[in-house]
Chains A and B, each alone.
Chain A
Amino acid sequence: MRQQTSSADRARVPADPVAEEDRLRAYAYGLLSRLLARPPSQALIDEVKTLSGDASDLGRAFTGLAAAAAGGDIRTIGREYHALFIGVGRGELLPYASYYLTGFVHGKPLASLRSAMLTLGIARDPAFKDPEDHICALMGMMAGLIGGAFGAPAALDVQRSFFTAHVAPWATHFFADLEGAAAADFYRPVGTIGRLLMEIEETAFRMI
């Protein structure tokens, strides 16, 4: 849902709507969100096959993910997703901020996130049953803040505040766990991309 806002509301948003590197940041966050939300569709796997990066660590991770997509198939990747995140009883990983930060789901970090979402005007889809501090939700919120899915691109300081409070404290740890998870094959480069993106973001946010 997009809505025109007064110039006063958006005075601090750069005139250039979304710069090239921010489009790519939004794409990377959005891709992580889509890959982590549910077992990937064939369309998403096909999209991932087209990725290629340069010789940087992150670029190589994208290229590695494309190769993993090309070498995998939807059923195998789907089973891997279940083993990692759903499992029998539970998956290998519990991808929730509250769990990583407190050892329990539905803890204070989730309450804090819900408060931030209220402030930012972000509402969850009631059809989604997982709590909002699921990693895919946080990656999706970052993508939306950067790319303008929630009305207009959020100013960098708003992005930084959200990232610092709700993503940075645990996401790097989660992605490192995903990289090293026993069940991870296709999702290993997903973990690498996530870990590298989090590290890049932490550094880049210190430069604004």
Chain B
Amino acid sequence: MSEGEHPEGTSRRSFLQLAGAGTVASGVAALTAGDAAASEAEPAPGSGYRETRHIKSYYDSARF
């Protein structure tokens, strides 16, 4: 179960794609192409995320 050896298991990726986790498309394609992560960290004005955000990250070199 070492995640380090199989950081992105092929079967898992295939499963996720087949299950539909990779199927949201069209209008969202632009969002998911690169902004999904960014929108979590630095919400764009108007996204609604700033108002709703109640989690801030304080990543102070604490390790997982």
Contacts and interface: CB of A to CB of B under 8 A. Distances in A.
Nearest to B3: A157
Interface residues on B, range: 35 or more
Contact of B48 (A43, A57, A196): A43
Interface residues of A, number: 78
Given A44-B48, A52-B27, A147-B37, A20 B22 contact: yes
A200 interface: yes
A127 B56 CA distance: 11
A34 B24 contact: no
A182 interface: no
A121 B60 CA distance: 7
B48 A128 contact: no
A176 interface: no
B52 A57 contact: no
Interface in A112-171: 119-125, 127-128, 130, 136-137, 140-141, 143-144, 146-158
A140 B51 contact: no
Contact of A123 (B1, B56, B61): B56
Interface stretch (A25-33, A82-90, A97-105): A25-33
A62 interface: yes
B7 A121 contact: no
A121 to B, nearest CB: 4
Given A1-B56, A150-B57, A204-B12, A25 B21 contact: yes
15 contacts: A9-B63, A11-B4, A23-B34, A24-B22, A24-B32, A30-B36, A52-B25, A59-B23, A121-B60, A123-B58, A125-B53, A147-B37, A148-B41, A156-B8, A158-B64
